Structure 1
Amino acid sequence: MPETTLRTTGIDHLVLYVGDIGRSKKFYLDVLGMSVAHESPRHLFLACGGQGFALFEPRDGASPETDRDLNHVAFSVDAGTYEEIKAHLEAHGLEVTGRRGDDRCIYFRDPDGHRLQLVVPD
């Protein structure tokens, strides 16, 4: 590996485009338990454990092109069983996929159609 003075230490934040910043704020705070780190009228930076997660509204009414977005975002969850977390998401009206088993993963979509994954503890 070549020697360099630049070393990445992790991901600072991820950004998803959303259609309605207020609707998305409610979803990520109320359903996924994140907190606001910083916000402006069209940008919302959320605290998610030690990582940053940002939601941006597109400029000039352009649509967020979720079909060209990344495949999915996976979040670690530090408490709760698969069944408890699945029930919590379904109580918020979300369609949940995935299966209980070795992968311990739950998949669902946010209000803008972004595919999200929760990696559930043992």
Structure 2
Amino acid sequence: MDVPAHRGLRHVALRVTNLKRSRAFYEQVLGMSVVWEPDADNVYFSSGADNLALHQISPGELQAYAAATRQLLDHLGVIVESPQAVDRMYAAVAPKIVSLGGAIAKEPKQHRDGSYSFYFSDPDGNVIQALYEPTISRLRWVSHD
């Protein structure tokens, strides 16, 4: 089967219950920078190698929104360069995560496959894994601009 080449999963869009709160979380915890803000209900971020969109759930839908019964995504992941970088990130952002409405889901841990990570959630309960993964953490991004 021929599959078209692509550059990986580099765009994620999340629906959020409070755009202002979620914006602060992603800016302060993951250092995401705004690349486009088309209106008051949408903001697009980048770390330089990806794109994250946050979309405010409309007031009419907000009443019926039930994240626990509608959330099918297990977690998102951000790749870091080493196990030590996981520990540095954990030390730097754990207090911010909690103060911005998120939570620590799992503390740093070595996994059976040689990876190392910790998990945290954003204010809407979306789980994020800060991950050192031996296969892809060492990749270098090359710009062809």
TM-score under structure 1 length normalisation: 0.80
Which SS does the other structure have where 1:83 is aligned?
helix
**2:104 aligned counterpart, secondary structure:** coil
Letter in 2 for 1:49: G
Q: 1:13 aligned to 2:2?
A: no
Q: Which residue of 2 aligns with 1:114?
A: 126
- State how far apart, in whole Å, the 2-side matches of 1:26 and 1:73 are: 18
Distance 1:20 1:105 in 2: 27
Equivalent pair of 2:74/2:127 in contact (CA under 8 Å): yes
Q: Distance in 1 between matches of 2:78 and 2:66?
A: 22
Structure 1: 4+ residue segments shifted above 6 A:
none
After superposition, the CA RMSD in angstroms is 2.4
Which AA in structure 1 matches 2:109?
A: R
8 Å contact kept, 2:90–2:108: no
Kindly tell me: are residues 86 and 42 of structure 1, through their superposed partners in 2, closer, same or farther at Cα, counting changes over 3 Å?
A: same
**Identity rate, percent:** 27
Aligned length: 119
Q: Give the whole-Å Cα distance in 2 for the aligned partners of 1:50 and 1:95.
A: 25
Cα distance, 1:12 vs. partner?
A: 4.8
| Unpaired segments ≥5 residues, structure 1 | none
- Residue 16 to residue 88, structure 1, CA distance change in 2 (3 Å): same
2:140 is aligned to none
CA distance in 2, matches of 1:52, 1:115: 17
Q: Tell me the CA shift for residue 87 of structure 1.
A: 1.6
After superposing the two structures, state which structure 1 stretch, 73-82 or 101-110, moved more. Answer: 73-82
User: Contact conserved, 1:86 with 1:96, CA < 8 A, in 2?
Assistant: no
C-alpha distance in 2 between matches for 1:78 and 1:27: 22
Inter-partner Cα distance in structure 2 for 1:29 and 1:78: 20
Q: Give 5+ residue unaligned stretches, structure 2.
A: 135-145
User: What CA distance in whole angstroms lies between the structure 1 residues aligned with 2:46 and 2:66?
Assistant: 24
Matches of 1:15 and 1:26, distance apart in 2: 16
Q: Secondary structure at the match of 1:62?
A: helix
Of 50-59 and 71-80, more deviation after overlay is shown by 71-80
